[in-house]
Structure 1
Amino acid sequence: MRYELLGNLRVVDGPQISSIGAQKIEILFATLLANADHVVSCNQLMNEIWGEQPPRRALAGLHVYVSELRKFLHRPDRAQSPIITHAPGYVLRLDGDELDSESFLTLAGVGRRLVREQRYEEARELLEEALSLWRGPALGDLGQGPVLSNFATRLTETRLECLEMLADVQLERGRHRELIGMLYTLTTENPLRETFHRQLMLALYRSERRADALKAYQSARRVLIEELGLEPCAPMRDLHEAILRSEVLEPVGV
């Protein structure tokens, strides 16, 4: 069985894909998965489900939701539910089941190491595999409470880091022309993330589009000044100067 959080929450069991329609039970499920194999207290769970002012009978409601979740996860070939009562709350045991967020973080970590070792082709394969696990925003629209919000932020930041590393790898492999469309999209979606702007400038410049590279710098600079009152970071400014001087900025290759 595979639990998937990199998009709307769902369970994949062979050919069968199932999801829960009730949002509060989904929040309970997602919170337990975000802390898989670790106990989550009843207070934490109630805070995720109802916020800082839970209803008077919130604890009783939580027990009902846990019961419903156990029914949802019941499989005839399993003697025990993956959700275990353990003071001061509950724990979801993976016991060999897969969790897509764990797979993603593992692949991202290996990809990061391969980039440091300049093993670019292997890094590309691992990073693309990691990114392919995403079906949409982490947790869909469930990440409102502190636990799920922090968990979704961590996953999203790691995804953006993977995209940055993948772009760097492709630039080193001389695949700059293939990157331009993706980087235009990423700079639009993440206008304050300077790495994407720098990568776009370099991809355009190496594609013999010097004027577009300079326009990309001016556009990014304008956004940073308007939004943050800041000039671009040193690597962006250095690249801008190198482009103005028409320096040769060729990839090092694999």
Structure 2
Amino acid sequence: MRYEILGRLRVVDDEGATSLTARKMETLLAVLLGRADQVVTTDQLITEIWGDRPPQRVNAALHVYISQLRKFLDRPGRRASPIVTRPQGYLLHLGEDTLDVNDFQRKVNRGREAAQRGRHEEAVAQFEAALALWRGRALNDVQDGPILYWYVTWLEEARLECVEMLNDAYLMLSRHREVVGRLYVLTGEHPLRESFYRQLMLALFRSERQADALKVYQHARERLNAELGLEPCRPLRELQGAILRGDELLKHTVA
């Protein structure tokens, strides 16, 4: 069985993909998957599912949801439920089941290692395979308690880091024209993430669009100043200076 949370939460088996329609049960499964093979306490689960307004006899209600979730995850030939009761709460034991987040992390790590070794084609393949696992916002539409909020925040940060490394790998392969359009979109979606401005400026400069690269810097400076009262970071300022000088090194390295 396979659990997928990089998008709408679903469970995939030989019969296909199924999703939970009950929001509280979906939240319960999401929390247990976010802490797979770790105990999640009863109090933590109650907070994730009901927030600060739990119902009367909340422990009995949680027990009912656990029981229903065990039935949902039951599959022919499975000898024991993946949901295990512990003195303080519950844990979801992955065992031989798989989780798409773990696959994502493995591919990202392989891509990072390949990039560090100068194998940029391999890095591109691994990063693109990692990003292909995403079907939308992680745990889309699941209630955000404190555990899930920070888990989804971490996942999104990991996705953006992968995107950054993919762009750098493309630039190292002199495939700068291929990333220009994508980077314009990324700077629009993440206007305070300076690494995307840096990559876009470099891609434009290498595409013989020096003026456009400098316009990107000016836009970044205005946006950062307006929203945060900050000047661009040092690497971005240094890249602007190198572009103004027409530094030949920018044609061969990632700034």
TM over 0.5: yes
2:142 maps to 1:142: yes
Write the letter of the residue equivalent to 2:39. Answer: V
Secondary structure, counterpart of 1:139 in structure 2: coil
Question: Which whole-Å CA distance do the structure 2 matches of 1:182 and 1:57 have between them?
Answer: 51
Secondary structure, counterpart of 1:59 in structure 2: helix
Matched residues, number: 253
- 1:96 deviates by 0.7
In structure 2, the residue matched to 1:215 is: 215
In structure 2, the residue matched to 1:47 is: 47
Secondary structure, counterpart of 2:3 in structure 1: strand
* Contact 1:173-1:251 at 8 Å conserved across structures: no
In structure 2, the residue matched to 1:101 is: 101
In structure 2, the residue matched to 1:17 is: 17
Aligned-pair identity in percent equals 55
TM-score, structure 1 as length reference: 0.96
- 1:120 deviates by 1.2
* Contact 1:173-1:252 at 8 Å conserved across structures: no
* Contact 1:171-1:203 at 8 Å conserved across structures: yes
In structure 2, the residue matched to 1:61 is: 61
Question: Which whole-Å CA distance do the structure 2 matches of 1:109 and 1:57 have between them?
Answer: 45
Question: Which whole-Å CA distance do the structure 2 matches of 1:115 and 1:154 have between them?
Answer: 22
Consecutive unaligned residues in structure 2, runs of 5 or more: none
* Contact 1:192-1:224 at 8 Å conserved across structures: yes
In structure 2, the residue matched to 1:240 is: 240
Map of 1:159-174 to 2, 5 A cutoff?
159-174=159-174
TM-score, structure 2 as length reference: 0.96
In structure 2, the residue matched to 1:27 is: 27
CA displacement 1:120-173 (0-9 Å, x = unmatched): 111111111111100011111225111111111111101100000110110010
- 1:219 deviates by 0.7
In structure 1, the residue matched to 2:5 is: 5
Question: Which whole-Å CA distance do the structure 2 matches of 1:162 and 1:100 have between them?
Answer: 15
Question: Is the alpha carbon distance of 1:252 and 1:244 closer, same or farther for their aligned partners in structure 2, counting shifts above 3 Å?
Answer: closer
Question: Which whole-Å CA distance do the structure 2 matches of 1:150 and 1:113 have between them?
Answer: 27
In structure 2, the residue matched to 1:90 is: 90
How big is the alpha-carbon RMSD for the aligned residues of Structure 1 and Structure 2? 1.3
Secondary structure, counterpart of 1:136 in structure 2: coil
Question: Which whole-Å CA distance do the structure 1 matches of 2:56 and 2:16 have between them?
Answer: 38
Question: Which whole-Å CA distance do the structure 2 matches of 1:51 and 1:109 have between them?
Answer: 35
2:76 maps to 1:76: yes
Question: Which whole-Å CA distance do the structure 2 matches of 1:35 and 1:245 have between them?
Answer: 51
Consecutive unaligned residues in structure 1, runs of 5 or more: none
In structure 2, the residue matched to 1:251 is: 252
CA displacement 1:212-242 (0-9 Å, x = unmatched): 1111111111100000101101111111111
In structure 2, the residue matched to 1:191 is: 191
Write the letter of the residue equivalent to 1:250. Answer: K
Write the letter of the residue equivalent to 1:70. Answer: R
Secondary structure, counterpart of 1:191 in structure 2: coil
CA displacement 1:165-215 (0-9 Å, x = unmatched): 110110010000000111011101100000000000000110011111111
Write the letter of the residue equivalent to 1:208. Answer: E
2:125 maps to 1:125: yes
Secondary structure, counterpart of 1:84 in structure 2: strand
- 1:53 deviates by 3.2
* Contact 1:168-1:199 at 8 Å conserved across structures: yes
Question: Which whole-Å CA distance do the structure 1 matches of 2:143 and 2:63 have between them?
Answer: 21
Which range moves more in the overlay, 68-77 or 177-186? 68-77
Question: Which whole-Å CA distance do the structure 2 matches of 1:197 and 1:134 have between them?
Answer: 24
In structure 1, the residue matched to 2:111 is: 111
Moved beyond 6 Å, runs of 4+: none
* Contact 2:49-2:143 at 8 Å conserved across structures: no
Which range moves more in the overlay, 73-82 or 157-166? 73-82
Question: Which whole-Å CA distance do the structure 2 matches of 1:117 and 1:81 have between them?
Answer: 43
Question: Which whole-Å CA distance do the structure 2 matches of 1:15 and 1:216 have between them?
Answer: 49
